[in-house]
Structure 1
Amino acid sequence: MWGFIRGKVIVSLLVMLTVSLVGFALLHLSGDLAATLAGENASAEQIEAVRRQMGLDQPLLAQYAQWLAGAFRGDLGASFFSREAVSSLFMARIGTTAILAVGALILAIAVSLPLGMLAALRPNSWLDRLVSALALAGQAVPSFFLALMMVSLFGVTLRWLPISGSTTPLHFVMPITVLAIGAIPALMRMTRSGMLEVLDQDYIRTARSKGVSGVRIMVRHALLNAILPLISLSAVQLGTLLGGSVIVESVFAIDGIGLLTYRSIQRGDFPVVQATLMFVSVAYIVLTLLADILNAWLDPRLQQRRTG
């Protein structure tokens, strides 16, 4: 087990390093940061002065090495505009984004599990087709459109829910719902396919021949064996929700990491954008690593398959 974990950790660290390097390079190549900071009417001398002041005149690898050394110390630099430490900006907002992402994942799982199980219990039936149609609809509707429709209906017309801010639990109802609807289709399909695969096994047919009820088979036998791929997908979905909250936070004016990222992209605030890129990437990698370790602990065969 420890050899499996060590190998996964090494691979994860290498992926993090690669993502940080590629992201750093792409952000620098996307435009002239010095010109953006100096302003539209800045002269060539003013732009060059800003470039020297910010260290942007150094070779790209030298800039990356300095940033990476600071990141290892917990220093992600300072915002070009507010001059606040990027780590402070993140710490002040990460709780809000985490509430949105975790709440949306819990809601998505609570909806996906029963619907996926029902669809697997009656494959190719009207219920199965209805669940598939709902999954397709949830995946097809853009999150910004759904958010605007919910604001119009529940916030403006019916006045049931507040439309902006994050000061009360009610402020999180619509954003969490929007994010959850985007995550439900993949979780629902994974639950259905996993259940169908398990329900076709010999031990399930044996249980049915002994008169075990369908619900008991689903919960006590099939679900426990079909939940492994769902764990991995849930980890990926949580990373997606953490990174995908930009649009939702912008629509509902929630002061989380997503809204901070949106404003930083608009202003060309490179240190904040770079930190956001690393935050999302590290979240993906760490969550996937934890899911792999949990799956290997629940099913030791995965260790043999991946190390053998």
Structure 2
Amino acid sequence: MKASTVRRVGSRLASLLASLLIALSLAFALGRLSGDPTVAILGPLATPEQRDALRHELGLDLPLVVQYLDYLKGILTGDLGQSLQFYQANTTLIADRLPFTLQLVAAGMALAVLVGVPLGVLAATREGTWWDRAASTVALLGQSVPVFWFGMMLVALFAVNLGWLPAGQSGTPQHLVLPAVTMSVYPMAQIARLTRASMSETLAEPYIDSARARGLRGRRVVWRHAFKNSMMPILTIVVLQTGILLSGAVAIEYVYSWPGLGQLALQAIQFRDFPLVQAIVVFGALTFVLLNLLVDVIHSVVDPRVR
């Protein structure tokens, strides 16, 4: 391996580890600033002696530096602590809820890609026409509309007024439709806008004109030549948006009462269950860092100039 490649990989890994450490430190700090969990556990009628005894049992009376080091040690050993609300290991709780979130994210991203990519390609190939303006308007609305409001509007229309689909919960494919559509809106807009920009830039390249001059059909030029060379930024945004959705599906899961990690995080925050909040943040940070690393790997595989 070349020395320049080693330096690049080392620099990237150091940057990712620094980002991860910052995220973990913020999770620790915010967990301690969220309030006294003994109030939620013991109730408002507990005596100061009872609260002090519980703080000692939970290790909250130790110096913050000691608590922080214990927290990092637990992460390194795979021990994310125990929930104060559910009295279970946080890793078990996350593992139980993760399949629901993965199901929702997979369905949402599939819709986002299936709609966003053709929309962006259509806008780029019809640049300046009403097709381009319509596609750009749809993408702009997708980025501007609050997802929780859009979710409630879908519930009001398709669940309450028409009665076609369930309003929430999970269990059947019908339960997945509205949450997946709601989740797909923002990444679909991002993918469509980036696809349009990338395709417009590629379609202006001289080799595209050369391909057309050789008599190649327009569809083949667009998909085999232009789209193939525009895929790198599209793949990047798809992977990064997947990480964002995995760690930020709270509003959608709340609107639809979807039993995923977002709903679990809300329950933990309401109960001041800071060990569980920390564990969910740690999982989200690790996922995002790993997906960023995956983007670098994809760059190296797809684009030989990176290698």
Calculate the TM-score normalised by the size of structure 1: 0.93
Residue 273 of structure 1 is matched in structure 2 by 277
Give the residue type in structure 2 aligned to 1:264: A
Q: For residues 183 and 109 of structure 1, what CA distance do their matches in structure 2 show? A: 8
Paired residues of 1:235 and 1:284 also in contact (CA < 8 A): no
* Structure 1 residue 252: Cα displacement: 1.3
Aligned residue among 80, 98, 105 for 1:101: 105
Residue 171 of structure 2 is matched in structure 1 by 167
* Structure 1 residue 6: Cα displacement: 4.9
Please, which runs of 5 or more residues in structure 2 have no aligned partner?
none
* Structure 1 residue 125: Cα displacement: 1.4
* Structure 1 residue 36: Cα displacement: 4.5
* Structure 1 residue 271: Cα displacement: 1.1
Give the residue type in structure 1 aligned to 2:87: R
The question of 1:185 aligning with 2:208 is answered no
Aligned residue among 138, 145, 156 for 1:134: 138
Q: For residues 120 and 238 of structure 1, what CA distance do their matches in structure 2 show? A: 24
Residue 254 of structure 2 is matched in structure 1 by 250
* Structure 1 residue 200: Cα displacement: 1.1
Give the residue type in structure 1 aligned to 2:237: L
User: Structure 1 residues 209-218 or 124-133, which shifts more?
Assistant: 209-218
* Structure 1 residue 31: Cα displacement: 2.8
* Structure 1 residue 214: Cα displacement: 2.0
* Structure 1 residue 35: Cα displacement: 4.2
* Structure 1 residue 163: Cα displacement: 1.7
Paired residues of 1:118 and 1:127 also in contact (CA < 8 A): yes
Give the residue type in structure 2 aligned to 1:252: Y
Give the residue type in structure 2 aligned to 1:23: A
Residue 301 of structure 2 is matched in structure 1 by 297
Deviations 1:277-303 (A, max 9, x none): 111111111111101111122112224
The question of 1:205 aligning with 2:209 is answered yes
Give the residue type in structure 2 aligned to 1:153: L
Count of equivalent residues: 303
How is 1:24-173 mapped onto 2 (pairs within 5 angstroms)?
24-173=28-177
Paired residues of 1:16 and 1:282 also in contact (CA < 8 A): yes
Paired residues of 1:231 and 1:295 also in contact (CA < 8 A): no
Residue 230 of structure 2 is matched in structure 1 by 226
The question of 1:240 aligning with 2:223 is answered no
Residue 23 of structure 1 is matched in structure 2 by 27
Give the residue type in structure 1 aligned to 2:48: A
Q: For residues 86 and 246 of structure 2, what CA distance do their matches in structure 1 show? A: 24
Residue 286 of structure 1 is matched in structure 2 by 290
DSSP-derived class of the 1:212 partner: coil
- Evaluate the alpha carbon distance shift between residue 124 and residue 41 of structure 1 in structure 2; reply closer, same or farther with a 3 A threshold: farther
Give the residue type in structure 2 aligned to 1:103: A
Residue 306 of structure 1 is matched in structure 2 by none
Residue 259 of structure 1 is matched in structure 2 by 263
Q: For residues 65 and 37 of structure 1, what CA distance do their matches in structure 2 show? A: 25
Paired residues of 1:5 and 1:293 also in contact (CA < 8 A): no
DSSP-derived class of the 1:302 partner: coil
Paired residues of 1:70 and 1:77 also in contact (CA < 8 A): yes
User: Structure 1 residues 113-122 or 12-21, which shifts more?
Assistant: 12-21
Q: For residues 65 and 231 of structure 2, what CA distance do their matches in structure 1 show? A: 44
Give the residue type in structure 2 aligned to 1:161: L
Paired residues of 2:34 and 2:274 also in contact (CA < 8 A): no
* Structure 1 residue 212: Cα displacement: 2.0
Residue 13 of structure 1 is matched in structure 2 by 17
Give the residue type in structure 1 aligned to 2:242: L
DSSP-derived class of the 1:301 partner: coil
* Structure 1 residue 107: Cα displacement: 0.8
Give the residue type in structure 2 aligned to 1:224: K
Q: For residues 292 and 268 of structure 1, what CA distance do their matches in structure 2 show? A: 37
Paired residues of 1:207 and 1:217 also in contact (CA < 8 A): yes
User: Structure 1 residues 12-21 or 273-282, which shifts more?
Assistant: 12-21
* Structure 1 residue 72: Cα displacement: 2.3
Q: For residues 23 and 93 of structure 1, what CA distance do their matches in structure 2 show? A: 20
Q: For residues 203 and 50 of structure 2, what CA distance do their matches in structure 1 show? A: 69
DSSP-derived class of the 2:306 partner: helix
Q: For residues 283 and 11 of structure 1, what CA distance do their matches in structure 2 show? A: 15
